[in-house]
Amino acid sequence: MEQGRPAGELAGAFELACEAGYGIELDVQLSSDGEAMVFHDSRLTRMTGQDGRIADHTAADLGAMALAGSEESIPTLADTLALVGHRAMVHIELKTAYGEVGPLEQRVHDVLLDHNGPTAVIGFNPYSHAWFADRHPQVLRGLDSHAYRAADSARMAPEQRKSYARLEHVAIARPHFLALGLDMLPSERADQYRREGMPIVAWTVRQPTEWDKLKGHCDNLIFEGFAA
């Protein structure tokens, strides 16, 4: 599974992934008028020079913003899936904030109804996964997680960080697989889930030697910077 390149190279990166037979990982956020847009950063500044967030602008406005270093603009999820078609597995990371579950999930589900290629929804918010598990359990779901160290998760309460680091939020999310950061692999808890039939995907692997150390504990990887 190849991780998406910077936004300004999206279409080209997706085409190359399809040609190479790789899967694709991308991020989605909701525009002010309820469209699922493919964009990673929390703010627009770095990639467009514009102020604000995806949620501050309509899909039409976002589609007119030039991305840094390219002639492309911010695509919708629907347009991106139409480009990929059935040529690649697409992991769709939902950037749903806590307390905001529902609108993005519903829009992503609506888009998926019209897509005939393989997909999975992924993300860190276990309640986003629970939304799908309760309403559309047939949608393939992968819970993202990592070690939740204090420096990386300052907004979380200490007990919540510890709970998530122990993968206790898996019970909330009810995913089909786990996508775990390298900072928590190998993990005895992850190994136990794997023995129970839960596939483990490692992210983000940037060197073949990293994968060599982990592949005995994992079923697949999200990678960048080399040919897997």
pLDDT of 133-190, one tens digit each? 999 999 999 999 999 998 888 789 999 999 999 999 999 999 999 999 999 999 999 9
Give the model's pLDDT for residue 7.
Answer: 44
pLDDT interval class at 4 (50, 70, 90): low
pLDDT interval class at 1 (50, 70, 90): low
Buried b (16+ CB within 10 A) or exposed e, 193-212: bbeeebebbbbbbeeeebbe
d(CA 152, CA 135): 31
Query: Quick check: 94 pLDDT over 90?
Result: yes
Share of the chain above pLDDT 90, in %: 88
Query: Quick check: 227 pLDDT over 90?
Result: no
Run of H or E residues at 214: helix 208-214
The 8-class DSSP code of residue 76 comes to B
Mean residue pLDDT across the chain: 94
Distances (CA, A) of 90 to 131, 198, 202, 224: 20, 19, 16, 15
125: left (phi over 0), alpha (psi -120 to 50) or beta: beta
In 3D space, the residue among 129, 46, 126, 39 whose CA is nearest the CA of residue 76 turns out to be: 39
